[in-house]
């Protein structure tokens, strides 16, 4: 009969708990960097892929470098914890600030900080294992360290989208986990108090790092507001970070402006041009629309235009982000812009992914207004694919019309005609048109239907932009916006996302 393995000493238990915290903090920094990059640069798959790849490579570098750290190991571990706390904890705030004041340096700073954090995290686990090997057998050491490491990663991967980002935001989440890393250093300071040389210096370093991170935590909202005020060139009226996006509403001389992940969605001064052009060519041409659906458009502006038709009996608004519909229904200043449309008894708000909603529902609609953000990443790009339009066709009544906002046919000509080609590929007739919206420039739309579309004989009273003459001009495409050959955008290739990024990238650079 073999002897039972001795119970681990309290110091070993403490270090295993530290591994859990270290893993959670390391993954939090990685997720925060990927989320910030996707918010600010678009194309979430590319940003998360490159950030994660860089981070894992840096962890490998750190693991390799750990062989050169000799005794006292506890002192090295404590210093590395403080460095991780400082660099990782301040990374989201530093990146927000860089995007506002040094946009040209954003990429460099992003990958520099990801490399630094990854290298330091890569140093941590080998050091802990070397410290623990005097108390725990090797076969138990590896399994137990990896178990706590993976459990920490699991915990933060669930907490990040469900709790941390919605409640704290990215900047505060980074600082909170930086404080946790610093507290691990304080714990190590106490655990190894008899082994550490120059203990007073380590105490001072711990106090300084905790003070800096605590000050950052207290001023996190101010840091974010200053950076975004500078970036948007107008005071921030409302801002929220949700599991889906960063919502910012500014208020300046031209009124309110809505930004999602840094991209302008509407400006109060001219949004009527966009929303009148989006809604009325389809609604008025139908003749007697009763059931209408709006996909996207959580600001309620498209719903406002739809409710100008007295025959409308129900409007179903499908908006993924409940924070958007709450903001534009509960905030008086913003609800005023959509004429309190979202609280109209005829309006039913569904907070669900539009793709899933189309798949699972059976109702058909006389008019469907599709008002999604531009396809800046694959998550949004799926809503511009032939798979999505095939589902859209199934939910469209035989005599119904759908209308899709479709980026700029002047700036992103290939992207615009890719959407037209994709709609046609599912058997729907497509009528492209465009309107000039000063905040955006020339902007495109497409009406999709089974029956031919004809210009309406009448439009609702009180429109500020659209009339018969304006509508006729919107159907004419000059040579520099005329149709070009384009591929079908499919879920399997998402060619539109790449095309869109190339075309708009030329403008921004």
In angstroms, the CA 25 to CA 80 distance is 13
Outline where DSSP puts E strands in 414-475: 429-437, 441-449
In angstroms, the CA 361 to CA 188 distance is 56
**Phi and psi at residue 128, in whole multiples of 5°?**
-60, -45
Nearest Cα to Cα of residue 296 among 378, 407, 396, 405: 405
Instruction: Give CA separation, 454 vs 91, 281, 360, 430, in Å.
Output: 55, 9, 31, 12
CB 303 within 8 A of CB 315: yes
Is the peptide bond between 10 and the residue preceding it cis, with omega within 30 degrees of 0?
no
CB 346 within 8 A of CB 313: yes
**Phi and psi at residue 348, in whole multiples of 5°?**
-120, 115
Tokens representing residue 426 in the block: 């599912």
Tell me the catalytic residues: 371
435 strand-pairing partners: 443
In angstroms, the CA 485 to CA 404 distance is 20
Instruction: Give CA separation, 492 vs 191, 231, 425, 496, 497, in Å.
Output: 54, 35, 15, 11, 12
Nearest Cα to Cα of residue 294 among 206, 387, 395, 374: 395
Distance of CA 389 to the CA centre of its chain: 23
């Amino acid at each position: 009969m073999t002897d039972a393995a001795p119970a681990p000493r309290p110091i070993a238990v403490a270090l295993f708990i530290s591994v859990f915290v270290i893993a959670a903090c390391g993954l939090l920094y990685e997720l925060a960097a990927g989320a910030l990059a996707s918010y600010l640069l678009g194309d979430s798959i590319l940003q998360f892929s490159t950030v994660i790849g860089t981070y894992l490579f840096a962890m490998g570098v750190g693991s390799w470098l750990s062989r050169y750290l000799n005794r006292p190991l506890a002192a090295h571990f404590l210093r590395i914890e403080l460095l991780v706390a400082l660099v990782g904890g301040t990374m989201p705030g530093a990146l927000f600030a860089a995007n506002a004041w040094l946009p040209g340096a954003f990429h460099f700073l992003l990958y520099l900080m990801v490399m630094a954090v990854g290298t330091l995290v890569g140093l941590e686990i080998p050091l802990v294992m070397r410290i623990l090997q005097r108390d725990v057998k090797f076969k138990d050491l590896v399994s137990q360290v990896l178990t706590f490491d993976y459990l920490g990663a699991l915990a933060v991967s669930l907490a990040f989208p469900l709790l941390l980002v919605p409640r704290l935001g990215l900047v505060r989440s980074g600082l909170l986990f930086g404080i946790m890393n610093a507290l691990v250093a304080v714990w190590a300071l106490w655990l190894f108090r008899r082994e550490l040389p120059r203990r007073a210096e380590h105490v001072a370093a711990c106090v300084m790092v905790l003070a800096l991170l605590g000050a950052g935590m207290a001023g996190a909202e101010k840091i974010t507001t200053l950076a975004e005020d500078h970036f948007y060139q107008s005071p921030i009226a409302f801002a929220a970070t949700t599991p889906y996006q960063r919502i910012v509403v500014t208020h300046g001389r031209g009124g309110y402006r809505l930004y999602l992940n840094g991209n302008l969605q509407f400006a109060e001064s001219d949004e009527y041009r966009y929303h009148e052009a989006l809604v009325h060519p389809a609604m008025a041409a139908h003749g007697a629309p009763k059931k209408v659906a709006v996909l996207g458009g959580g600001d309620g502006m498209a719903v406002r235009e739809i409710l100008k038709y007295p025959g409308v009996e129900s409007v179903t608004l499908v908006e993924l982000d409940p924070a958007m519909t709450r903001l534009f229904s509960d905030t008086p200043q913003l609800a005023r812009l959509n004429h309190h449309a979202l609280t109209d008894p005829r309006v039913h708000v569904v907070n669900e992914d539009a793709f899933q909603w189309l798949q699972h529902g059976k109702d058909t609609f006389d008019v469907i207004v599709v008002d999604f953000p531009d396809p800046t990443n694959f998550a949004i790009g799926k809503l511009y694919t032939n798979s999505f339009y095939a589902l859209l066709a199934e939910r469209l009544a035989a005599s119904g019309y759908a209308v899709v906002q479709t980026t700029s046919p002047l700036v992103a000509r290939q992207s615009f005609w890719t959407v037209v080609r994709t709609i046609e590929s599912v058997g729907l007739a497509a009528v492209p048109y465009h309107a000039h919206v000063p905040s955006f420039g020339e902007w495109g739309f497409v009406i999709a239907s089974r029956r031919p579309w004809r210009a309406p004989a009448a439009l609702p009273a009180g429109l500020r932009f659209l009339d018969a003459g304006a509508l006729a001009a919107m159907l004419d495409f000059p040579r520099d916006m005329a149709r070009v050959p384009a591929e079908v955008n499919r879920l399997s290739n998402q060619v539109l996302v790449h095309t869109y990024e190339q075309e708009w990238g030329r403008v921004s650079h």
